[in-house]
């Protein structure tokens, strides 16, 4: 029987050689998954015995991580806003920076009992919409995505989280054919310049869907496409919350202004980067 500490040591060396930054932590998470235990147990009990079948699973996981597949893709899930979301090849891997949008919503709408209507453009896993709905028990929402596989995964995540009765998802091209008025409009659109994508970390460039990354030559195509729909669908006194790439605040605010939306606030992520642009109607 192999000992956990020995497997972790060897895996960490292998992952470091492959360029993985947090090799020891990733190895521990993967071994915990292979064993079906909590990761902290391997810290407290380094002499844990690893059965052969678990060792085989762990070897498969380590090989995938050495090929720079993210841990979340290997595990098939990612935690976001304290909730667990399943992933698929059609969905972006949710990142902590995107939680800035949820924080901004909570600041703008302090009444947690409000029966808000929420719209999420490019919903992916559904993480933004479902995180917001988890905070507002009387709210309901709709998530739109071009990828049918992403919509299916968002539906599965809503079911896992017990939010299916308040969250609907459908395939669509931004707001085409959509009517109604929404108090909160969310989007984490593709905003990376096309020429930059191949040079991103392999975890992103190889494993996140290109459709969810590339915002055209200047990174702004998605904002140009979605902004007229956001302006049309925004309820009186409603707010729009858009995720931004670094340095995009002014350009996106200018696009919004051309559609009748104005900058209300910008919210920084933990690195101090303006990550969320909050908009309201010019006459709102």
113 annotated binding-site participant = no
**Do 57 and 149 fall within a single domain?**
no
Within a domain: residue 72? no
Pairing of strands 49-50, 77-80: unpaired
175 is in an annotated binding site: no
The answer to whether residues 99 and 54 belong to one domain is no
- The pTM (predicted TM-score) of the whole model is 0.95
Q: How confident is the model at residue 256 (pLDDT cuts 50, 70, 90)?
A: very high
Q: According to the annotation, is 177 in a ligand binding site?
A: no
Q: Which of 210, 85, 77 is nearest to 146 (CA)?
A: 210
Is 136 assigned a ligand-binding role in the annotation?
Answer: no
Is pLDDT above 90 for 1? no
The confidence band for 283, taking pLDDT boundaries of 50, 70 and 90, is confident
Is 241 in contact with 105 (CB distance < 8 Å)? yes
Domain that holds residue 125: 80-281
| Annotated binding-site residue? 76 | no
| Number of domains composing the chain | 2
19: CATH: 1.10.8
Mean pLDDT value of segment 192-205: 96
Q: Is there a binding annotation on residue 171?
A: no
Furthest-apart CA atoms within the chain: distance in Å: 70
Please indicate, yes or no, whether residues 211 and 251 belong to a single structural domain of this protein. Answer: yes
With residue 140 as reference, give the H or E element that holds it: strand 140-145
The answer on whether 124 is annotated among ligand-binding residues is yes
104-139 pLDDT, tens digit per residue, is: 999 999 999 999 999 999 999 999 999 999 999 999
The verdict on residue 74 lying in a domain is: no
Same domain membership, residue 119 and residue 47: no
63 with 85, same domain: the answer is no
Number of Cβ within 10 Å of residue 51's Cβ equals 12
Q: Within this chain, do residues 119 and 196 fall inside the same structural domain, yes or no?
A: yes
Q: What is the mean pLDDT of residues 221-226?
A: 98
Q: In terms of domains, do 255 and 153 share one?
A: yes
Domain boundary among 67, 93, 117: 67
Q: Above 90 in pLDDT, residue 186?
A: yes
* Chain length of the chain: 284
pLDDT tens-digit readout, 151-177 = 999 999 999 999 999 999 999 999 999
Do 88 and 34 have their domain in common?
Answer: no
pLDDT beyond 70 at 7: yes
Does 199 count as an annotated binding residue?
no
């Amino acid at each position: 029987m192999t000992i956990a500490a020995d497997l972790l040591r060897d895996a960490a060396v292998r992952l470091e050689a492959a360029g993985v930054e947090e090799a020891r932590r990733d190895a521990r998470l993967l071994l915990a998954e292979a064993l079906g235990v909590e990761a902290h147990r391997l810290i407290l009990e380094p002499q844990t015995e690893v059965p052969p079948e678990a060792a085989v699973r762990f070897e498969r996981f380590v090989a995938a991580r050495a090929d720079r597949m993210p841990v979340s893709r290997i595990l098939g899930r990612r935690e976001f806003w304290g909730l667990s979301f399943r992933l698929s090849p059609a969905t972006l891997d949710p990142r902590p920076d995107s939680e800035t949008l949820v924080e901004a919503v909570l600041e703008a709408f302090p009444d947690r009992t409000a029966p808000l209507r929420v719209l999420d453009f490019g919903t992916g896993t559904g993480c933004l919409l479902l995180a917001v709905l988890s905070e507002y028990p009387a709210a309901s929402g709709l998530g739109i995505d071009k990828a049918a596989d992403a919509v299916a995964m968002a539906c599965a995540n809503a079911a896992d989280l017990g939010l299916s009765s308040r969250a609907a998802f459908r395939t669509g091209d931004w707001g085409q054919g959509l009517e109604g008025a929404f108090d909160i409009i969310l989007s984490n659109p593709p905003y990376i310049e096309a020429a930059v994508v191949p040079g991103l970390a392999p975890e992103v460039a190889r494993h996140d869907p290109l459709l969810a990354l590339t915002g055209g030559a200047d990174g702004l195509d998605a904002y140009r496409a979605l902004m007229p729909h956001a302006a049309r669908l925004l309820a009186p006194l409603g707010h729009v919350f858009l995720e931004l790439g670094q340095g995009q605040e002014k350009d996106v605010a200018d696009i919004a202004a051309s559609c009748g939306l104005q900058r209300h606030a910008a919210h920084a992520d933990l690195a101090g980067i303006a990550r969320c642009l909050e908009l309201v109607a010019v006459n709102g």
